[in-house]
Structure 1
Amino acid sequence: MTARNVQRLIPAIATSDGAGVSIRRSLGQNQHTRLDPFLMLDFFGSDKADDYIKGFPAHPHRGFETVTYMLEGHMLHQDHLGNKGHLKSGGVQWMTAGRGIIHSEMPQQEHGLMQGFQLWLNLPASEKMKPAAYVDIAPEHIPQLQLAQGSVKVIAGVFDTGAEKLGGPIQGLSTDPQYYDIALNAGQSLTLQLPATHSALVYPYRAAVQVTDGTAVRQVPEHHAAVLTQGNSLTLQSEQPCR
C-alpha cells in the first residue's frame, strides 16, 4: 500500500462571485490551480448578511457538474427548465449542467450563518452535451459513520478504512467521485483507502490537519487545498478537533 502525502498547497484567496457573495477560492483561481477533473472549489462562510444576501442571480453553466454542500443556511435553486429546490443545512445539490442550463441560487434568510462549499467537477467529452439534471440530497439521506477517531459523512463514493466501509448517495458516475466530510477529534489518526488512479485533495475548514505517509508529516493549514501525491491510502492526523 502506497501512502499519499502533500504535493502542493493552494491557499484559498478571498474574493467574491455572483452578485457580491464573499467566498474563499482555492482550486480555480487560475488555470494553474486546477486538478483534473476538479475545476474549482469555493468555500463560503459568514454570519454577516451583506456577505451573502445578494446571492447568485440567474447565470449559465455548461459541460460540467456543480456540487453544493450546505453546512449551514438555506438557499433556493431555480432554473430555466422550471426546476426548483431548497438547499438547507446539511444538504447537497448535485447539478449536471450538461448541454447547458441557466439557474440561480438565492439565499432564503436575512440573518444568521450561511456556510458551505461549491465544487465544480468536469465532465468527460462524451457527456458534455447530455441533458441537464439535478439530484437534491436531504441531510437525512447522507449517511454518517461514527469512528473511534471522530465521524465521517459520505456524500459520494465509498469511504473505506479497510475495517469499516460506508457508501454515499452518489454512485455510478463516470468520474467515480469520492466526497467525504470528515470530523477528527483532537490527537487522532485516521487512515482511509483511496483509488490509486484518482486525483485527490484535502481541504481543512475548521482548524489545521496533518497528512503523513509514515515518513514525512505535512501540516495543512485551515482554508488551504492540499493536492495529494499518488497512492492508494491517506493518513490524516489532528492536533486539535478539525474538519
Structure 2
Amino acid sequence: MANTSNRYSSTHQQQVVERRLERVIDLPAPMPGQFGPAHTVVPVISQEDYALSDPFILFMDDRLDGKPIGGPHPHAGFETVTLVLKGGMVHDGGRLGERDAQWMTAGSGVVHGEGLENAAGQARILQLWLTLPKAQRWAPASFQDIPYSGLPVRREAGVEIRLYSGSSGGVRSETKNYVPVTLAEFLLEPGASIEQDLPGSYNGFFYALEGELAVGPDERVLRPGQVGWLDRPESAGDSSIRITGTTRARALLYAGQPQGEPLVSYGPFIGDTQADILRVMGEYRSGRYGPPPRR
C-alpha cells in the first residue's frame, strides 16, 4: 500500500487523502488485432488483472485504417464504454463522432454491431468493459449516447475538465450508472493545475493522450503510451488528486467503485459462475438476444 498525505477541508473540517500514482505502466507498442492487417490494438487492462483493476474488466485502445470493425456480436453480464478518439463510427442507434462516447449495458444480453463511419478512413477507439453489481448483473439491456458537444464542463485557470460521467467541483454529468464511475477528459495548459475530488474507495487510472502531466503531491509524470494507476487509501472517506500540465496535455481519468465480487468470463460473456456462462451462451444460440434499446 502506497503512502498517502492528508489534509483537512476548511469547509467541512474533514480529513482528505491526497492520492498519487502508485503504478505507472509503460504500455506495449500497438500489436496486430483480430480484424485483419489494418487493425492494431494496445491492451491497457487485461481480464487476468481484474482483482487489481476492479471495477474495470478490460480496456483496449483500438487503431483502425479503412476496415470495418465489429459486425453483429453478442455481450452479456457487463457494460461497455466506447469512446471515439479519432474518426467516427456507426452503431445500432446511430453514429458516434470524434470524442463522442456510448455507454452500453449488455446485462441480460444483446447482439449489437459497430463499424467505421467511413470505410476508407482511419479511427482510434477506446473500449472499456465495466462490471455490473452482482444484483444488476442481468439488468435489461440499454445504451446511452454521450455527445462530446453536450458534456458538462468545469473550467479553471488553464484547465478544462469535460465529464462523460461523475462529477468535478460543482459540475455533474447526467449519465446514469449502475457502478458509480467518474470518466473525465482533462485539458491542461503548461503549468496549469487543478484538484479532482474522488471517494477514497474508488479505484482508478489516468490514460495520457497528449503531452505530459504530473499527478499527486510527488508530481509523478505521465506520458502518452503510459497508464498511471492511483494508490488505494487505507481508510475510506474523501480523497483528492492534484493534476498539473507539465506541457499542454490531454488525459482521461477513469475511476469507479470496486465491487469485490469474483467474475467468470468466456469470450464476450461475463457471469458470476460457470453456470451463468453456459446459460447465456444457450440463450444467445437460441436467438433470444437482440439490439439494445436506448435508455
In structure 2, do the counterparts of structure 1 residues 31 and 212 end up closer, same or farther at CA, with 3 Å as the change threshold?
Answer: closer
In structure 2, do the counterparts of structure 1 residues 32 and 63 end up closer, same or farther at CA, with 3 Å as the change threshold?
Answer: closer
Contact 1:37 1:121 in 2 (8 A): yes
Contact 2:156 2:194 in 1 (8 A): no
Matches within 5 A, 1:15-94: 15-20=31-36, 21-28=39-46, 30-31=48-49, 34-45=52-63, 48-49=65-66, 53-78=67-92, 84-94=93-103
Q: Deviations over 1:113-153 (max 9, x none)?
A: 42342111111111111211111122332122222122111
Q: Deviations over 1:158-215 (max 9, x none)?
A: 112xxxx2111314x23111110010111222211111111111111112221122xx
Q: Between Structure 1 and Structure 2, how many residues are aligned?
A: 227
d(CA) in 1 for partners of 2:196 and 2:128? 22
TM-score (norm 1): 0.85
CA shift, 1:16, in A, is 4.3
**Corresponding position of 2:207:** 203
- Greater CA deviation, 138-147 or 190-199? 138-147
Which one has the largest radius of gyration?
Answer: 2
Query: Aligned to 1:242, which of 246, 249, 258?
Result: 249
Segments of structure 1 that go 5 or more residues without pairing to the other structure are: 79-83
TM-score (norm 2): 0.71
Query: Aligned to 2:119, which of 110, 113, 119?
Result: 110
Contact 1:18 1:55 in 2 (8 A): no
Q: Deviations over 1:86-129 (max 9, x none)?
A: 11123211000001112221001134442342111111111111
SS at match of 1:76: strand
SS at match of 2:208: coil
In structure 2, do the counterparts of structure 1 residues 15 and 125 end up closer, same or farther at CA, with 3 Å as the change threshold?
Answer: farther
d(CA) in 1 for partners of 2:224 and 2:149? 27
SS at match of 1:2: strand
d(CA) in 2 for partners of 1:211 and 1:222? 14
**Corresponding position of 1:81:** none
In structure 2, do the counterparts of structure 1 residues 159 and 99 end up closer, same or farther at CA, with 3 Å as the change threshold?
Answer: same
Matches within 5 A, 1:180-219: 180-213=184-217, 216-219=218-221
Greater fraction helix = 2
Query: RMSD over aligned Cα, in angstroms?
Result: 2.0
SS at match of 1:57: coil
d(CA) in 2 for partners of 1:73 and 1:194? 31
